[in-house]
Chains A and B, each alone.
Chain A
Amino acid sequence: MNKLVNITIDGQKYHVQEGKNLVDAAKENGIYIPTLCHFHGVDHSLGTCRICTVEVNGKTTTSCTTKVHEGMQIEVNTSELQNTRKALIEMLYAEGNHFCPSCEKSGNCDMQNLGYDMGITVSRFPHVYSNKVVDFNSDRMIMESNRCILCKRCVEEVKTKEGKNVFSFVKRGVNTRVQIDYEEEAKLTDAEAIHAMNLCPVGAILVKGMVYEQPFGNRKYDFSGDLKLPDVEELRLKRQKNKYIVATTSLAGCFGCHMSLLDIDTAIIDILEVVEFNKSPLTDIKKFSKHCDVGLIEGGCCNSENIEVLKEFRKKCDILIAFGECAIMGGIPAMRNFVPLKECLEEAYVHGLTSEIGANTIPNHEDIPKLLDNVYPCNEIVKIDYHIPGCPPNANHIWKVVKNILLNEESTVSHEEFKYD
């Protein structure tokens, strides 16, 4: 096994140990191939997530299942392969229900981190919003199938002392999910249960009472750094006479993104010298009086009025930017997509803890906008040009993107500015 062989990765020649797994062989030589289902120290490669897809001798395959041998020609970072890998992560986001702001594993999540790495602002695929099982039945564990990416790590690695499976795949196709065997799960030690949770690359397996241990900023994938406000001087130079016209709105959101936008504090005064706000809650202008350069949309669409406003923004703005998770993928309001509408209304107005005592009616009037069957991300209603993720997005992040769009420049966003939660 100690024999060295020559391989070529992206045109560079390397000497590596024969028979070594390609992910590890590349890593030793400073080449990073992203993985999800593959994990360190376990040699039996699962090949389920497909994220490490590369080209070996002209054929696409996964690097975790490839053992290197003499003369192997490997492409890792062609734009096509990067696009494929990104698409796979986006597909995982679209297929599950990944609400980072409300997820216990946020900040410690391998998939979320890959999202940051690849700079995913939105999934190119429409969200499926399938209603999967959240299983609380086990005394110790929660299985949140909405977040499960079916990497099979837990199925293969977590066994009882007798060698029986604790987790198993059931059903097939889009209905495949992981199911806990309660009886076998009870036989695990606490340490083994926590191991199972840590094994999970997302927030699907949780041990009750054992999450949220680390504060924000200290989580596995948190970065802290010096955030710098964008310089508005450039904008000023570029356009001296006419101001850029910007409109903003909050649809099914909490106005948190607008609050975040104001976090630039006094810099807003500089910005106002080059930017004029038209329809926006900031100006309280209710109707468009001009055609706008940029429209900023917070929140998804939960009712008929949201749809109307969004379509109007599309017509009145050259460029539409969805900012915040809700606008991008429905966010917290979209969590109602898994509950029948009638139950939602009854919970809110009749049976809920916060409804008035004695209340027995769901308010309705022709002036009240009609609720949609689901909460929709903005890009499923109209074309959205740019997406700024975050809950809320960092103020610097928002202004950086807006500025670069107005100046027609490439924008780069640093890891610490770029967050889904």
Chain B
Amino acid sequence: MKTFTNNSPRTSLMGVLWDIQKKRRYIGHDDMTKISKTFNISRMELEGVISFYHFYHRKHAGKYTIYLNNSIISKHKDFMAVRTAFENELGIKIGQVTEDQLFGLFETSCIGLSDQETSALINFRAFTDLTPDKVKQIISDLREGKSLEALSDYPRNNIRYTPPPEKTIFLKPFMRGSVMNILKHKSPQEIIDLVKDSKLKGRGGAFFPTGMKWQFCRDNKGTQKYLICNADEGEPGTFKDRVLMDSLTDLLIEGMAISGYAIGATKGFIYLRAEYFYLKDKLENTIKEYYDAGLLGQNINGIDGFNFDLSVYMGAGAYVCGEETALIASMEGKRGEPTTKEHFPVEKGFLGMPTVVNNVETLCAVPRILEMGVDKYLAIGTNATPGTKLMSVSGDCNKPGIYEIEWGMKMKDFLDLIEADDPHFILYNGFAGECLSSQDFDREISGENLLAEHIQFDYRDPIEYARKMSAVGLRSGGSFMVFNKNRNLMAILKNISDFFVAESCGICVPCRTGNFLLNKKINKIMLRHADDHDVTEIEEWSSIIKQSSRCGLGKTSTNCLLTAMLKFPDEFKEYLNARSDINHAFNLEKAVSNYNLIIEEIETSYE
């Protein structure tokens, strides 16, 4: 174990916890005493941090810790059979650890392998395309002591489509160092102007203008500035950042160096989600090669005063940490709770210093824009959204995987491209996105003519909706999950709701309890106990959550539910009873069953 100096900087806390978790398989009482002394924090504050992240355990999690993905795409594949196989092979249930402490079995939300489900992580090595037979084999091999690394599957990149070569931006070979030379002739401000001219916007899904963000940071008087690459790709159904980091590591590193140069940050971090632990070595090795080649560190590439250090920072399992302020809190060794946005990170970010947080894809776009020139870049895509977009496709189609498409492609053409034979509904932009139906298939994938979000809810009539929305673009962060007619919409919505209940940080009541109560309502509908009054309540409660939640997680958590209700009213109606003054969800027999058991027990004891 590492030896700590007293009063270690809080930023190293997550790493220290990881070291202990990996070595001992849990964080014990004595470890906590020691850590809380070292970091000079109270025990309970430490407990608060540990219990926030679901990959840290306070009890032994098994020598082999298995995390099975329970997202809807996994469930539509072999999840149930695979889970049963794991449970049978190990003789334990989900959430338990075998008696010999060899295996621990847990569920987790989307792990970024939606195109190769059913998947699981075992000690953060990926196992894809699982079947019951494969599970049997894996467990018996591990019991025999075979190497985990040899057994694991390195995730496939599944790059399915790129535009014609002159229009491909991301998914083509990249020459190491090629862009660094350009920096010799460009001032930081020139780079920012270039990025502004390119109309590049945050590709994580929020679409904040990148150039503007950089300018804010550059103009800030802070002495130390930071750049963070948000590689906490937690949105269910996205895996484009994984593919970018794996196949174009150099591109990301150079993108970060350029960004650091432009905004004046001398330190950069890649906040990598723990689910992508298997990418850590590759990233770190490449970073080392860059240092060795003089392309990172001091006076990079011979440019005087261009200093940029880069390192990888591991998350520990919290979707909300994809929110930039939560991510920063996490890097500071705290609970990943979003802040109130009184200050944006570009004003007060990491350690109180101006900080830019950018998505992997955004940072990867920058070297490409420099490489090809802004004019050429602007000629691709649409006016509001030039360039191309990476889409992560999963679900009911013949070709799940990564697609680089030119902005402006029609939805129906995209559906043809991915070979979705019977697309019925689409979860667009992940669980925080929206639900699309055939009414949306004539729209284009772009940021053109966007409307304020609430307006689409005014078009209740499907024909009016299709007409009014046809010219409105569909902007995407990249998650694309398609489902055919045989899939149960309620089960999908239930899975989404389960996800938000599990991932809410718990700091504000609308998100924390609102989602929990909505989840119960969805259960009520699925059990066919609901009437139209319940549906009205779902709508009202969803809007309240949307209006009043503290951060983007809560505000977007009911989007899919609301849009599904708007577009698929019939699928809801199917479940509903006639309006009644009696609550059908209350079942007297069930409510007295416990009492009956107790009485029965007493009576048998008489005899």
**Which A residues fall within an 8 A CB radius of B?**
45-50, 53, 60, 62, 65, 67, 83-84, 87-88, 91-92, 94-95, 124-126, 128, 149-150, 152, 160, 162, 164-176, 179-181, 183-184, 304, 307, 311, 314, 341-342, 345, 361-362, 364, 370-374, 376, 380-383
Contacts and interface: CB of A to CB of B under 8 A. Distances in A.
A341 B594 contact: yes
Given A176-B507, A370-B595, A170 B583 contact: no
A373 B594 CA distance: 6
B517 A126 contact: yes
B516 A174 contact: yes
Interface string B499-542: 00111111111101110110010000000000000000100110
The winner among B40, B45, B502 for most chain A CB atoms within 10 A is: B45
Contact of A172 (B44, B45, B506): B506
A169 B582 contact: no
Nearest to B524: A126
Interface size class of B (residues with CB under 8 A): 35 or more
A181 B42 contact: yes
B598 A307 contact: no
B509 A92 contact: yes
Interface in B565-607: 580-583, 586, 588, 590-596, 598-599, 602-603
B318 interface: yes
Nearest to B585: A380
Given A45-B340, A172-B52, A181-B43, 17 more contacts: A45-B342, A50-B508, A94-B513, A95-B516, A125-B513, A160-B42, A162-B40, A168-B47, A169-B48, A172-B51, A172-B504, A173-B504, A184-B44, A361-B602, A364-B599, A371-B592, A372-B595
A342 B598 contact: yes
A91 B540 CA distance: 13
A48 B586 CA distance: 34
B47 A170 contact: yes
B549 interface: yes
A177 to B, nearest CB: 9
Given A184-B42, A341-B598, A170 B51 contact: yes
Nearest to A160: B42
B323 to A, nearest CB: 14
A164 B544 CA distance: 36
Contact of B510 (A91, A304, A345): A91
Contacts of A342: 598
5 contacts: A170-B44, A172-B51, A172-B335, A362-B602, A376-B591
Given A149-B509, A173-B512, A364-B599, A164 B582 contact: no
The winner among A83, A87, A373 for most chain B CB atoms within 10 A is: A87
Interface in B437-495: none
B548 interface: yes
B592 A370 contact: yes
Given A152-B507, A168-B47, A174-B513, A364 B583 contact: no
Contacts of B593: 373
Contacts of A175: 506
A150 B506 contact: yes
Contacts of A174: 501, 504, 506, 512-513, 516
Nearest to B582: A382
A373 B591 CA distance: 5
B140 interface: no
The winner among B43, B48, B586 for most chain A CB atoms within 10 A is: B48
A58 to B, nearest CB: 8
Given A150-B506, A173-B506, A168 B42 contact: yes
Contact of B581 (A49, A179, A314): A314
Nearest to B506: A176
Contacts of B47: 168, 170, 179
B218 interface: no
The winner among B342, B502, B590 for most chain A CB atoms within 10 A is: B342
A128 B521 CA distance: 13
Given A314-B581, A372-B591, A181 B508 contact: no
A307 B517 CA distance: 24
A82 B48 CA distance: 34
Contacts of B544: 83-84, 87-88
Nearest to B336: A172
Nearest to B318: A172
Contact of B42 (A165, A176, A382): A165
Contacts of A128: 513, 516-517
B334 to A, nearest CB: 10
Contacts of A165: 41-42, 44-45
B24 to A, nearest CB: 21
A38 B341 CA distance: 16
Contacts of A60: 547-548
